[in-house]
Structure formats: C-alpha cells, structure tokens
Amino acid sequence: MPELPEVLTTIKQLKPKITNRKITHVWLDNKTKIENITTKSISSNLVNKKIDQVWNIGKYLLFNLNNQQTLIIHQKISGHLLLGKFIIKKRYLKPATSSSYLNDPVNRFIRFGLKFSNNYWMVLSDSRRLARITLMPTKDIKQLKFVLQMGLNPLTKQWTFPNFKKQLLKHNISIKTALLSQNIIMGLGNIYSDEVLFKSKIQPQRKISTLKPSELKRLFKFIPLILKRAIKIGGTTFATYRTPDGKIGSYVNFLNVYGRKNQPCKFCKYILQSIKINGRTSYFCKHCQK
Ligand SMILES: [Zn+2]
C-alpha cells in the first residue's frame, strides 16, 4: 500500500509533466466513477482545464484545477498512478508501445486516465478497485472529515518533541496501532511503522504508557528520519506499487524487519518474529527491541 514516501515520490514525478498542462481527454472504464459528479458532467468539469497544483494531505493526492475544483485520488491498497503514452483501443486504454514499462502486469488494471496537451497520460492502475476518485470545490477541502482529523505531520515544523509527546500520550493503545492511526501521526503505514519501531528498539505491542522518555525521544527522531530516507530512495515496493515512471521503489532492499519473518535479524542474527496487533501483522526482533 502506498505510504507517505510513495505518495511524495508520485507527486515529484507527476508535477513536471502535468502542472500547467491542459487536460484534453478523460477516460474511465465502465465501472469507475468520479464521486460527487455525474458521468455526463465529467467532460465539462475536466476537459480544457489546467492542473495548477499537485499536492497531498497524508496519503490523499490532490490536483487543483484552474476552475476552483480539486480532483482527489486515494490510491488505497493496490492503486498507483502512472505517466506515459497510451492509445484508446476498442474502448480500452492500452500502452502506445509494446516495449514500455506500462506493459508490466501490475500496470494493466487501468481504471481512469487523463490525457494532457503534451500527449502524456496520467492513469490509475488498480487491480483491486479500491482506489477512490472525487471531484469537489477546492474551498471545501479544509472541511473534509479526514482533513479535520489529520494527525501530526512528521515532515513539517509542527513536529516538535512537546507536540509529539502530547499527541501520543493522549492515547493508551499499543504503539504499533498509534503509529498506524492517521489521526494521531500521519504518513506511516504498516511497513514504515515496523521499521521505525525496530530503529527505536521498541516492541510493537508495547502500550504507550509504558514507554520511557528515552524511547519517546528515539521515536521522535526516527519517524521523520525513516520517512525522509524512503522518500529519497523512491519508496518501497512490496507488491503492486510502482513509481509513475514504472520503477520499483527500492527501499525494499533497506528494510530491517518488515516482511522478513523467520529470517535472521540483520544486526543480531536472532530469528525475526511477527505478531498480529489490531488485525495488522507487525514484524520485529525480540532481541533488539524491548
Ligand atoms: Zn536483532
């Protein structure tokens, strides 16, 4: 599932190709809908409009148009956005050339596409059809429930130790669950929360109230550090994620614990374990993490 580093990598690659470009065509397969607008009004809302800004709120991707509307895409578990050349063939959107990365099997579930004046398409490939696309007035975004409830952003100046501590200590749940809760801290998903806990030497099932000041300090330090490192490398691919230029996020090579059950810890050689917390599998080293 795309987490914050994957979302930011996507934005970085999309921006130069689609900002200030006119949308010349909108394509949807017959099951995909844009929420909030009727199928009839899709063209009048999107075609001939320009994208002014590409940005994100947590894992939501936002595309501001020059008609005071914003297109919002949440990629969910298997969705990812791609950039490339496509052609419409028998009502399907197909890669323009057979040799391109767009033919990678995970890129073949095209549900939605926008064509721009430079002939590039931005498309959404989503094998499980869970991604959501919404169009709404830009001015209404700050009133959305997920925006109002958004937690602390580790990559902004709100990220101070007092803010972090105050936010975390309001809850007495397991630290793994807290790190996954977007209304507490935004941006971490299953992969980076496990990696943060490994670097912070804390077992995932620990309750927040049991954390020592030194452990809180380590969490405070490693949350933004690990996110920034992953952003630099282009994110992590575990299953279906691809960057818009079709690459695999290579942070997967740097993972210490996530997905490595029954393999030896890279540091102490102890065999790594997994545990289910609130329905989510968490990987950890019982020896390095206390
Ligand atoms: Zn270890």
Active site residue 224: no
Average pLDDT estimate for 71-100 = 90
pLDDT grade, residue 1 (50/70/90)?
low
Range of the domain at 216: 161-284
In a domain, 156, yes or no: no
CB 108 within 8 A of CB 170: no
Q: Annotated catalytic residue: which of 5, 6, 21, 59? A: 59
Query: Are residues 165 and 141 part of one domain?
Result: no
% of the chain with per-residue pLDDT over 70: 98
**Residue 243, domain CATH:** 1.10.8.50
Class of residue 134 by CB neighbours under 10 A (exposed 0-12, middle 13-18, buried 19+):
middle
**Which residue in 286, 164, 266 sits closest to 215, CA to CA?**
164
Active site residue 244: no
Provide the strand spans (E) within the chain. 23-28, 51-57, 60-65, 69-74, 79-84, 86-89, 92-95, 110-116, 121-126, 132-137, 273-277, 280-284
Q: How many helices (H) and strands (E) does the chain have?
A: 7, 12
Position 231: which residue type? Answer: I
Query: Are residues 188 and 85 part of one domain?
Result: no
Query: Are residues 183 and 120 part of one domain?
Result: no
The total of other beta-carbon atoms located within 10 Å of residue 133's CB is 21
50 Cα–ligand 1 center, Å: 51
In a domain, 103, yes or no: yes
pLDDT grade, residue 249 (50/70/90)?
confident
Q: What is the pLDDT of residues 211-227, one digit of tens each?
A: 999 999 999 999 999 99
207 Cα–ligand 1 center, Å: 21
CB 203 within 8 A of CB 209: no
Query: Are residues 178 and 115 part of one domain?
Result: no
**pLDDT score recorded for residue 78:** 81
- Of 120, 148, 176, the domain-final residue: 148
Choose the weakest-confidence range: 27-31, 98-102, 176-180, 271-275: 98-102
166 Cα–ligand 1 center, Å: 30
249 Cα–ligand 1 center, Å: 25
Q: Which residue has the tokens 């002014």?
A: 52
**Residue 129, domain CATH:** 3.20.190.10
The total of other beta-carbon atoms located within 10 Å of residue 209's CB is 9
In a domain, 205, yes or no: yes
pLDDT grade, residue 193 (50/70/90)?
very high
Beta-bridged to residue 250, according to DSSP, are 236
pLDDT grade, residue 238 (50/70/90)?
low
Q: Annotated catalytic residue: which of 49, 247, 280, 286? A: 280
**Taking all residues of the chain, what is their mean pLDDT, rounded to a whole number?**
92
Average pLDDT estimate for 183-204 = 95
Question: Which residues lie near ion ligand 1 (Cβ < 5 Å)?
Answer: 265, 267-268, 270, 285, 287-288
Choose the weakest-confidence range: 130-139, 143-152, 259-268: 143-152
- Of 107, 123, 148, the domain-final residue: 148
Q: What residues have CB less than 8 Å from 124, skipping those under 6 apart?
A: 73, 75, 79, 80, 81, 82, 110, 111, 112, 113, 131, 133
Active site residue 59: yes
Q: What residues have CB less than 8 Å from 140, skipping those under 6 apart?
A: none
The DSSP line for 206-235 is -BGGG--HHHHHHHHHHHHHHHHHHHHHT-
**Which residue in 182, 162, 181 sits closest to 173, CA to CA?**
181
Query: Are residues 133 and 80 part of one domain?
Result: yes
**pLDDT score recorded for residue 259:** 92
Active site residue 280: yes
275 Cα–ligand 1 center, Å: 16
SS3 content of the chain, % helix, strand, coil (to 5): 30, 30, 40
Query: Are residues 40 and 8 part of one domain?
Result: yes
- Of 148, 173, 193, the domain-final residue: 148
